[in-house]
Amino acid sequence: MVRGHVQGVYYRDYVAREARALGLAGHVGNLADAVSVEVYVEGEMGAVDRLLERLRDGPPLSRIDSVEVDWRDPAGRAAGFEIRW
């Protein structure tokens, strides 16, 4: 869960591009509160760690207040990385 100024600043596109470049699967989507984006990702642990670093940076117009991580065993249900609307 990423909170801050993350909606309307191409944050989902940024996350999708970075996740795909790292070979990760999952999805990213805005939440109804207008200040949060949910990211679900599966993949190699080193790549997930690199994505977490990039989530904290974000694209130029974003402002990241917090990144909350809920670690779980991979479900194996993700194929590719998609943006959810």
Looking at residue 15, what is its pLDDT? 98
Active site residue 30: yes
pTM: 0.92
Averaged over 31-54, what is the pLDDT? 96
Report yes or no: 24 and 81 within 8 Å, Cβ to Cβ. Answer: yes
Is residue 17 part of the annotated active site? The answer reads: no
Q: What does the alpha-carbon distance between residue 71 and residue 13 come to, in Å, rounded to a whole number? A: 23
Domains of the chain, each with CATH number or no CATH: 2-74 (3.30.70.100)
Three-state SS at 67: strand
> Is the Cβ–Cβ distance between 29 and 38 less than 8 Å?
yes
The one catalytic residue in 17, 30, 54, 72 is: 30
| Residues 12-41 pLDDT 10s | 999 999 999 999 999 999 999 999 999 999
Catalytic residue from among 3, 12, 50, 72: 12
The fraction of the chain above a pLDDT of 70, given in percent, is 100
